[in-house]
Structures are given as C-alpha cells and as structure tokens.
Structure 1
Amino acid sequence: MNKKIIALLLGFSVFAGCTKLEENVLDETSSTGSTDKQIAEGLIAPVYAKLPDIFLHTNYFALQEISTDEAILPYRGGTDWGDNGIYMSLHRHETTSTDPNIRSTWNHIFQGISRALSAVVALPTNTDPNARVFLAEARATRAYYCMLTLDMFGVVFKKEDPTATSEVLRGEEAMTYIRTELEAAEPVLDNTTGPGRLTKAGVWGLLARLHLNAAVYRDRYATAFTFQKADMDKVVEYCDKIIGSNAYTLSPSYFALFDDANHTNKELIFAVDQRADLNGHNRMAYFSLSGDQFPIPAYTGANGTDGPGITPDFYRSWVNAYAPVDPAAADPRFYKQNLGVYTNPNDTCVAAAAFNINRGILRGQQYGLIRKGGVFLKCDDGKMKVGPLFYDTRNRPTMAVNFTEQCDFTVAGSNYNTGFRVSKYEFSKTSVSGRNFGEHDIVILRLADVYLMRAEAKLRRGDAMASALTDVNTVRASRTASTPAPALTTIDLDLLLRERGFEFYWECQRRTDMIRFGKYEGTWTEKTNTDKNKRIFPIPQTTIDGASVIPGYLVQNQGY
C-alpha cells in the first residue's frame, strides 16, 4: 500500500451513522477560471467549516461534559438516549474504542486538519493580498485542532506533505509542535477579524491554554502534576497581552454571551461562527430541554429532547457556595427569569413577540407554551397561553415537567423529568425543529477565561493570593446587568475550580479543568472509576485498524 493511501486511512474513517459526512475533494481542474482571491477564500473557508461538526452536541460537548461531575445523560424513561449505553459508559469512565461519538469527534477533527493542510500547501503560491493572512490562520487553526487531539487522545499527527505518512507525536514533542505553529502564525494575523476567525488575541489565548495544561500533557498519568514556573509565566504573559490590548470587554449581561446575536459581543475572542447567513445549525440550546418545552411561538415543532441534566453534585456546589441564599438570587450566572408566571401565577398570557423561556439552570415545575392538537393555546386577547407543562409528547399527559435534583441511572433517577436542566445558549428564534438552526456562536475562548487562566497561573507559581483574587473578582463583578455575584474574600485552587465551574458550565471546559486540578479520578453521581488511564480517551478502533498496515506505527492508549 502506498504512503498516500496510508495517510488517507489515518486521517479519515468512513462510517455509517446518524451524522452524514461529506468531503468535497478539490483538484486543480475545479478551480480553472477562478481568480486567486476566489481560490484563496475557497481554501480557508473549509478549514473553519469543520468546527460546527466538532462542536455538535454528541461530539466534543458530550466528551468534555458528560464524562465529568457536571453533566449526566441517563436512559430516559427506559426508552430514550439508550444508544447502547454509550452515554452511561462515558459518565462512568467506561468508554471503549468502538464508541461512535469518539469516532465521530476524531473524524471531524482530522477532516479539519486535512483541510488545513491543503490550505497550508496551496496558499504560499497564491498572489491574493489576503493569502498570507489566510495561511497564518490555516496554520493556527490546524494547531488548535491538534490541541484538541492532544487533550482528548494524547496524540498529534504532524505532516507537511499530503502524500507522506504523518509523524506521531506525544507529550513534549506534541506541545512543541503546536506551540511553534501558533508562534509562527501570530505575527501575521490580523486582530480585527474575530471571533469567527483566529486573530492574534485568539492565538495568545490558545498559547496560554497550552502552557496552563503543559504539566498534564507532559506526564499524562502522573500522581501529581508538576506545573513549571516557566509555563505559568507564559500564561500570565499571554493573558496580559489580551487584557492589555483593550480590544475585549467583559459582558455586563452573562447570558448575552450565549444569545443568538452574540457574534458582536466584545467578550468573545474565538468562537464557532454560527450566524444564519453561514447556515448556523448547532444544537446546544435544545439538547437539555424537555420535549414539552416549546421556546418559539412561531413553530410548533421546535422543542427540546430531554437530554442531559446537571448532576446533583454540580448543583450542590452552587448551593453550598451561597447557603442559605438560593444561588438564583446570589449569582446572575445561575439563572435568568424571563417568564413572569414563575413569580406571578396570574401572568399567563404573553405576547408572542415577548415570549422567552428562562435561561440558566432550570429547576422544578416548568411553565411555557401549551400545545394541544398540534397548535399552541391562546388567550382570549390573542396572546400566547402560558401554563404548567406536562409530558404530552411522551404520551404521559399527567406527568408534570417538573425537574428534580435527582438524576442518575436508577429507574427513579432516569425518568424524563429527572435532573435540573441547562438553558444556557438561546433557543434560536428561527428554529423550525429545535434540532438545528442554532445561530449563536459557540464560545471557544472569551475574556473571562483569560482572567481566570491568569489567576490560576499566579496561584500555581506562588504569587500573593491578592493578585489572583482580583482577577477572579473582576469577572464576578462584571455582570452588572443584574446584581453581580458578591466578591470573594479568599481564593485557592479548590475555590478557583469551583469558580471555573460557575463561569464555564456547559462550555466544553469541565473535563480538561478537572484533570488539571487533579479531580478527574474522584467520585460523583454514578461514577466511581479511579483509573488514571481514563484521563484520555481511546483512539478509535477504526483508526488503529487502518494504521495496522505499518507495524508499531500507532499504539492504542494504555488501558484500552
């Protein structure tokens, strides 16, 4: 078998499943008659186009959240989300190399890497004035994709010749490759094209993130990670650059960061561009909601799916932090009430244009649009009728959509209503089905993370606690659209992990954070596995099989 075929095998695994993968292969004849500008744009656009697939709810999100103490997805009602037990295995740290979500996530990332390589090879000879910047973006985006594979699978594939066999990198070698690629791209990048494209600030943030996790990536199975001062210095340096640029500001409204119109929010540094004119289609808003929550009066088919809830453990971290005050009253990141019926039982008629479901962590009896016979009920004045919801779509009309704290794999804990739910990203106003057309950008990096990374680096290198505390409280005090969370009076690493949970829940950060803070082998909800091997996922079996034509070339991660 020649090297070109081997390289393709390592980069792709064609499979049948819920996700349809299509790869348009371009050759020289397809660009005949195109200008260099068109060719350059046609090379860089596909590099970013894989990001939405990676961030599909059952791909990167599932791996980063459902494997942690933050999210759990039981076998709902004994009939839904069973999926051969893959979500229960993911939460229990029992995932195998044949898991379809592992394979899907891997495939999408490597398709992105393949597209980036095509751009890196072709753009140097392109005469369009933007080609130089596009080349830098392609290299930086490829480095970001490699950061994902290093973080999740402990491996990076390095290749500059599309016909060659990739070099397999792990540990320090992998980090050095990613770092040098980001450093090479940074001087060329613009700082005004974000957040949907990588900028100088985006690269600074990725470099800070790389150095912050360097102790993990160097010694994946260490009993205790050794955070080198040189790495922490780099984290502070890059975070200082972003903050000192004055190009970004913390959003006064926390949930505005996750609204449909968040593309212009000045806190976002790097994000998956999901605006409508780019055919945005993410599913982050509907994944956790009930199948009987209908957020859009214009569409009777747009509803939730009764997917993951937050774990009782994660919920208790909020309660314990603010007791005896309810976290909804103490911290604007926890909850935002939009429907008046929750505090005024008589507020049962709402104009369609003013109807918005609540945001944040949803608890207890849910109220909303009532659908009967395929239509929403209306009040006598023509407004939308709002009332308590029941599981009509599940043919359980007497069962209330009443979210409970308990959510586990027992029969009682895995019913449709179990688990407090998360409505963080806005349910798109143009979603006809609830399962697509999410138009909010999916956050990859934002300014709050920069402040909290800097705070963590300061703590880990032994700075005075006051400096790190200032960074943390700067973020807490910034959400002034409502009463901000009270300032903390002290900070340590345990409190900082808790703070990161409050700030970044449902943003695909939790697994990486828990590993770095030494908490991933802990016990929560249905998870008791303490195996350090589970800090990384298995390389998909299809990839291992494809690589077997070169004996010893690709070794499965230990423990799988």
Structure 2
Amino acid sequence: MESELLAALGVPAITVAMDLSASPLTTTNDPYRINQFAALGLLAKLYLNAEVYSGTARYEEAAIAAGYVIDNGGYTLCDTGCSVPNAGRRSAVASDPEILEGYAAVFAPTNSNNPEIIWSIAYDNITAGGMNFAQMSLHYSSQFTWNIANQPWNGYSALEEFYNSYDAADKRKAANFIVGPQFDYGGSAILDYAATDGQLELDYTPEINELEPNASRKGGARLGKFSFRQGQQDNMDNDMPIIRLGDLYLIRAEAKARVAGDWSVAAMDVNTIRARAGLPAMTSITADSFLAERGREMFMEVTRRQDLIRFDKWTNPWWEKSTSGAHTTVFPIPQEQIDASDGSLTQNPGY
C-alpha cells in the first residue's frame, strides 16, 4: 500500500521537503476522487498504525503527511458560519434548528460539498444505497419523527459510559446522539404501545438496563451523528467521510506526541478540535485523555478498533464485554481464501 501511494504521489518517501510536482494526481478538490491530499491522508492513517502492522514505528511520517494536508490542502474545519439547512427539521417543533452548523454540518444529509471532507463515499437514497443508520438505530415509532418510508429496527445504541463522557457543553454531544422524549412531525408525543414498563411515551434514556433477556425498548442514546432528513427512504443521503481534516489534526497531534514521548505536544491540535466543539482548552494531556478525546470526535467513523489496538486497550473488558484474547487484534482469514491459496495461507493463531 505504501509503495503504491508513494508512486501515485511521485515521491520516494514522505519528507518535509518533498516535491509533489511529478505526481499524476491533481490537487483538484473533488471528494469522490483521490487527489494528492487524499493520498497523503491515507498514508497518514497507514503510518499512524504502522507499528502495529509491521513492528516499525512511522509516526514522524504520519505527522508530516497529515501536516502537509492541513497546511497546503485548502480545506477548513467546518465551524461557525459553515452550515447547511436542517433537512430533518419539523416546523411544529420549536427545538428543531433551522440550520446545522459546524460539526453537525459535516455529517448532514447535504454534506457533499463540506469544506472539511477530503475524500468520501458518495451515498444517496436512489442510486447509491447502503447508508442506513436511521434503520439500524432508531426505535420503530421514530418513523413518525422523520416520516421515514419504512419502520426502523430499534437496534444500535450508544454505551451509557461513552455518552456520559461528553461534557454537557460539547456541541458534539447534541450532534451525535438522540435522547429524551420523542415527538412526531406535528409535535405530538410518540407512543410505544408495546412498552413493557407501563410508560407508553417514547423516551430515549442514556441508561441501558441490560442486553438480555429484558432489555428496555427505549434504552440507550440513539446514533444521530449522520443526521436524518424528512421523508427519507431506508437509505440515507449522507456521504461517509474517509479522510477529513478533523481526523488529520488528531493524527498529527498523536504522531508528534509519540515522536517526542510527550503528550503535551498534542495540545495545540487537540485544542483546535475542542474549540470547534465549544470546549475550553485542555491544559494537561495524557495518552488516556487523548484517546478519550479522539473517541468523542471520531465516533461512528470506523476508527475505534484501530485506535484501541494502537493504545493497547483492544483486549480490555468493558461493560458487558469480557477480556478478549490477544489473537483478536488480527482478524481470522476466511476459510474459502485458505482453501483457494494452495497452501500459501494458513489460519491466524487463535482461530
């Protein structure tokens, strides 16, 4: 992967003084095509995890690659003034904002031209399906809040401990989660006639009583980061960022800190991200507090497994999860591929 990305960038290695003028990739800002900055973002992610993959740390290159995009790409964090109309707004519900601004706008149904997104997967409900967080997370009756074509499945919820780790003033908390009493498009309370606790009104509680056998139908904050639009189909229109500027700030912060052996080096970039979230600057940073901050920013962006492995926490127990075996830091190889390899592939240990 590294050699192919370097070849596409036209350089033998990532250095401070690299010259990308020979790259066949352009610098054109098109979130659906790889440009120089998307390739550098991929390399930054690759180098950040290189010590896990190969045993050799490549944090210096990760910091350089991420920093090059931050300094030269022309992308900007979506902050105050960066907004889109709220496609999920109910005119009868006063608490629904007319616009989504800052962090919330990055993941909205109309995020295709967001200035923070460098490379993304283009989803839409007609020609590019597959984005269906509303179906996977919302209670069946939340169909009436967004006039969704089909009933959701009452599935994924956020861990209570993770939800509570957000400061009350954190703008990401309001953007990432759906909690509290739920109302339909006209502002009337939504009822769950199959509720087993005698409380018919649908009220998402951060608390999850248990997974089984008697899990509450209303338990858990629901996943609203990739926000919903009125009248949406099973599939959503929100693009999924693969490389975005906010992530690159955190990659540069972590990589610099690891090179220096000092987590305080991460403060400038971490506090840039926190400022966008409406939070005060962190005056002291540790590996654990950095990982927690990265988790709050990158929620639902499929980086957590890599992050936990890199911070040597993947196998730890949490809530209903017991301690995992060390072998789980790599996936099993599908038996079909082993059978087709004529003996060149053997199963990873532990599987």
Q: TM-score range by the shorter chain?
A: 0.7 to 0.9
CA deviations 1:15-50 (Å, max 9, x no partner) are: xxxxxxxxxxxxxxxxxxxxxxxxxxxxxxxxxxxx
Is 1:554 the counterpart of 2:345 in the alignment?
yes
Equivalent position of 1:232 in the other structure: 59
Residues 279 and 530 of structure 1: CA distance in aligned 2, closer, same or farther (over 3 Å): closer
Q: SS state of the match for residue 241, structure 2?
A: strand
Q: CA RMSD in A?
A: 2.4
Equivalent position of 2:178 in the other structure: 362
Which residues of 2 match residues 184-199 of structure 1 at below 5 A? Answer: 184-186=7-9, 187-199=23-35
Is 1:334 the counterpart of 2:334 in the alignment?
no
Q: Distance in 2 between matches of 1:463 and 1:418?
A: 41
Q: Which amino acid aligns with 1:528?
A: S
Say whether the 8 Å CA contact 1:476–1:487 is kept in structure 2: yes
Which residues of 2 match residues 489-508 of structure 1 at below 5 A? Answer: 489-508=283-302
Q: Distance in 2 between matches of 1:536 and 1:428?
A: 37
Say whether the 8 Å CA contact 2:253–2:270 is kept in structure 1: yes
Residues 540 and 246 of structure 1: CA distance in aligned 2, closer, same or farther (over 3 Å): closer
CA deviations 1:404-435 (Å, max 9, x no partner) are: 312542323x2322222111112134523xx2
Structure 1 position 557, deviation (Å): 1.4
Among 409, 417, 426, the alignment partner of 2:211 is 409
Structure 1 position 466, deviation (Å): 4.6
Residues 249 and 215 of structure 1: CA distance in aligned 2, closer, same or farther (over 3 Å): same
Residues 501 and 465 of structure 1: CA distance in aligned 2, closer, same or farther (over 3 Å): closer
Q: Which amino acid aligns with 2:63?
A: V
Say whether the 8 Å CA contact 2:133–2:223 is kept in structure 1: no
Is 1:270 the counterpart of 2:119 in the alignment?
yes
Q: Which amino acid aligns with 2:77?
A: L
Q: SS state of the match for residue 211, structure 1?
A: helix
Residues 420 and 407 of structure 1: CA distance in aligned 2, closer, same or farther (over 3 Å): farther
Q: Which amino acid aligns with 1:360?
A: N
Q: Which amino acid aligns with 1:203?
A: A
Q: Distance in 2 between matches of 1:540 and 1:465?
A: 39
Q: Distance in 2 between matches of 1:267 and 1:303?
A: 33
Q: Distance in 2 between matches of 1:317 and 1:213?
A: 25
Residues 512 and 360 of structure 1: CA distance in aligned 2, closer, same or farther (over 3 Å): same
Structure 1 position 218, deviation (Å): 1.7
Q: Distance in 1 between matches of 2:31 and 2:304?
A: 22
Q: Distance in 2 between matches of 1:190 and 1:446?
A: 18
Structure 1 position 546, deviation (Å): 3.7
Q: Distance in 2 between matches of 1:185 and 1:295?
A: 48
Unmatched segments (≥5 aa) in structure 2: 10-22, 80-101
Q: Which amino acid aligns with 1:542?
A: E
Structure 1 position 448, deviation (Å): 0.7
Q: Distance in 1 between matches of 2:327 and 2:130?
A: 34
Is 1:421 the counterpart of 2:251 in the alignment?
no
Q: Which amino acid aligns with 1:505?
A: F
TM-score, L = length of structure 1 = 0.53
Q: Distance in 2 between matches of 1:408 and 1:396?
A: 14
% identical aligned pairs: 32
Is 1:202 the counterpart of 2:18 in the alignment?
no
Say whether the 8 Å CA contact 2:172–2:297 is kept in structure 1: yes
Equivalent position of 2:159 in the other structure: 311
Q: Which amino acid aligns with 1:301?
A: A
Among 178, 182, 189, the alignment partner of 1:388 is 189
Q: Distance in 2 between matches of 1:244 and 1:416?
A: 47
Say whether the 8 Å CA contact 2:263–2:287 is kept in structure 1: no
Structure number with higher relative contact order (C-alpha < 8 Å, ≥ 6 residues apart): 1
Structure 1 position 506, deviation (Å): 1.2
Kindly name which structure, 1 or 2, has the bigger radius of gyration based on alpha carbons.
1
Q: SS state of the match for residue 386, structure 1?
A: coil
Is 1:181 the counterpart of 2:4 in the alignment?
yes
Say whether the 8 Å CA contact 2:253–2:265 is kept in structure 1: yes
Residues 275 and 533 of structure 1: CA distance in aligned 2, closer, same or farther (over 3 Å): same
Q: Distance in 2 between matches of 1:410 and 1:296?
A: 27
Q: Distance in 2 between matches of 1:525 and 1:471?
A: 31
TM-score, L = length of structure 2 = 0.82
Say whether the 8 Å CA contact 2:109–2:229 is kept in structure 1: yes
Unmatched segments (≥5 aa) in structure 1: 1-177, 220-226, 336-358, 370-383
Q: Distance in 2 between matches of 1:554 and 1:182?
A: 26
Among 216, 228, 231, the alignment partner of 2:52 is 216
Equivalent position of 2:316 in the other structure: 522
Say whether the 8 Å CA contact 1:313–1:524 is kept in structure 2: no
Say whether the 8 Å CA contact 1:293–1:389 is kept in structure 2: yes
Structure 1 position 398, deviation (Å): 5.2
Q: Distance in 2 between matches of 1:270 and 1:287?
A: 24
Say whether the 8 Å CA contact 1:270–1:444 is kept in structure 2: yes
Which residues of 2 match residues 84-99 of structure 1 at below 5 A? Answer: none
Equivalent position of 1:260 in the other structure: 109
Q: Distance in 2 between matches of 1:191 and 1:462?
A: 31
Say whether the 8 Å CA contact 2:145–2:182 is kept in structure 1: no
Equivalent position of 1:248 in the other structure: 75
Q: Which amino acid aligns with 1:418?
A: G
Residues 430 and 243 of structure 1: CA distance in aligned 2, closer, same or farther (over 3 Å): same
Is 1:431 the counterpart of 2:264 in the alignment?
no
Q: Greater helix percent: which structure?
A: 1
Work out the number of aligned pairs and report it.
Answer: 315
